[in-house]
Each structure stands twice: as structure tokens, then as C-alpha cells.
Amino acid sequence: MTEYEVETGQASKRHAALVTGSTSGIGFAIALELAKNGFNIAINGTREEDKVKPILSEIKCAGAEVFYVRADVSSSEDRRRIVEELRNRFGRIDVLVNNAGIAPKERRDLLEISEENFDRVIEVNLKGPFFLTQLISKWMIELKQKLAQY
């Protein structure tokens, strides 16, 4: 909720959700269901924007405002940009779904996996969601404190 919405009482009736890794599969299905249940949606992934247009259209047809943030959750700069775009577009965040994830590039036995391959999986599957959750949680606390003031 933006400061203007809090001050004027003109808050959006739709909650806002960010679903990472939502350009296909389970992430897309989660985003679509949230849209059908009254949420505006921020879609996130690493695909080119033109490849995501059909997904955005389908979510819009469910009645949601939707936008795409092309970003890699393993990048601290990209995580900050995701939150900044959410602030600018929706002014609020109510739900975060950390769905982004990758499998190792090379499927190998535990005794043969490379350190580089291991590090990339940890960056995307663990480090990225952890620090994105940290950023979103801080923003949620900030929003709650602003609401409590009015």
C-alpha cells in the first residue's frame, strides 16, 4: 500500500503477489491461481520479454494487473530492482512465492559434481530466495508500521 493510499483511504482492493520463476510450469500455475483469487501479480524469470507475453495475457484475462520483471534472483542488484519495480507498480506486497530454482547443469554423481556447478545451484535455489525474502520482509514491516500510524 502506498503512502497516498494510506493517507487518503483509497487503498487498492487487490492484494499484490510476487512469484519468482513464474514464466512457466508450477510458478505460472501459482501466479494464475493467485490472479483468479484477486491478486495483482508480478511475474519474474530470466526469459526474454517477448516470450512471456502470452503468459501476461492469460493472467490479465483472469482480472489481474500484471507485469514482468526480467531478473535473476541470484543477483543482489536484480533482487533490489525487483523490489523497486514492485514499489513503483503496486506500492505494496502481500505475498511472496519463492519458486525460482535450477538443477545442476551437469547431472553427475555426488562425488563428481564441480564446485562451480554446486555454487550456481546454491546461489539460485538458496541464496537468492533467502535475500529476496529479507528485502520483501523489511518492506512488509515498513508498510505495517505506516498503516499503524494512521
One DSSP character per residue, the chain reads --HHHHHHT---SSEEEEETT-SSHHHHHHHHHHHHTTEEEEEEESS-GGGTHHHHHHHHHTT--EEEEE--TT-HHHHHHHHHHHHHHTS---EEE-------SS---TTT--HHHHHHHHIIIIIHHHHHHHHHHHHHHHHHHHHHH-
What residues does each domain of the chain span?
3-149
Write the class of the CATH domain 3-149. alpha beta
Average pLDDT over residues 39-50: 98
Query: Model confidence over 91-120: pLDDT tens digits?
Result: 999 999 999 999 988 888 878 889 999 999
Determine the pLDDT at residue 111. Answer: 85
Query: Model confidence over 75-87: pLDDT tens digits?
Result: 999 999 999 999 9
